[in-house]
Amino acid sequence: MANLKEVVKGEEVTLEIEPGVDILEVNKQLAQKNMELLREHNVKAIDIMGSIGAGKTSLIEKLVQSLKQKYRIAVFKGDLTTTIDAERIGRHGVQVLTINTGRECHLDANVVARAVERISLEDIDLLFIENVGNLICPAEFPLGTEKRVVVVSVTEGPYMVVKHPFTFMNADVMVINKKDLAEIMKIDTEQLKKQVKEIKPDVKVAVTNALSGEGVEELIKALEL
Binding positions for other proteins, rule: CB under 8 A: 1, 11-17, 19-26, 104-106, 134, 136-137, 139-140, 159, 162, 165-166, 169, 191, 195, 198-202
Q: Which is nearer to other proteins, 14 or 69 (CB)?
A: 14
Shortest distance in whole angstroms from residue 2 CB to other proteins: 10
Would you tell me how many other CB atoms lie within 10 Å of the CB of residue 218?
Answer: 15
CA dist 48 to 107, 136, 187, Å? 11, 13, 23
- The span from the CA of 109 to the CA of 31, in Å, is 5
- In angstroms, give the least distance from the CB of 202 to other proteins: 4
Would you say 93 or 157 has its CB closer to other proteins? Answer: 157
Close Cβ partners of 115 (under 8 Å, ≥ 6 residues apart): 76, 97, 99
| 126: β partners | 44, 73
Q: Which residue in 94, 102, 106 sits closest to 136, CA to CA?
A: 106
- Compare residues 122 and 202 and give the one whose CB is closer to other proteins: 202
In angstroms, what is the minimal distance from the CB of 199 to other proteins?
6
In whole angstroms, how close is the CB of 117 to other proteins at the nearest point?
22
User: Is the Cβ of residue 53 or residue 166 nearer to other proteins in the bound state?
Assistant: 166
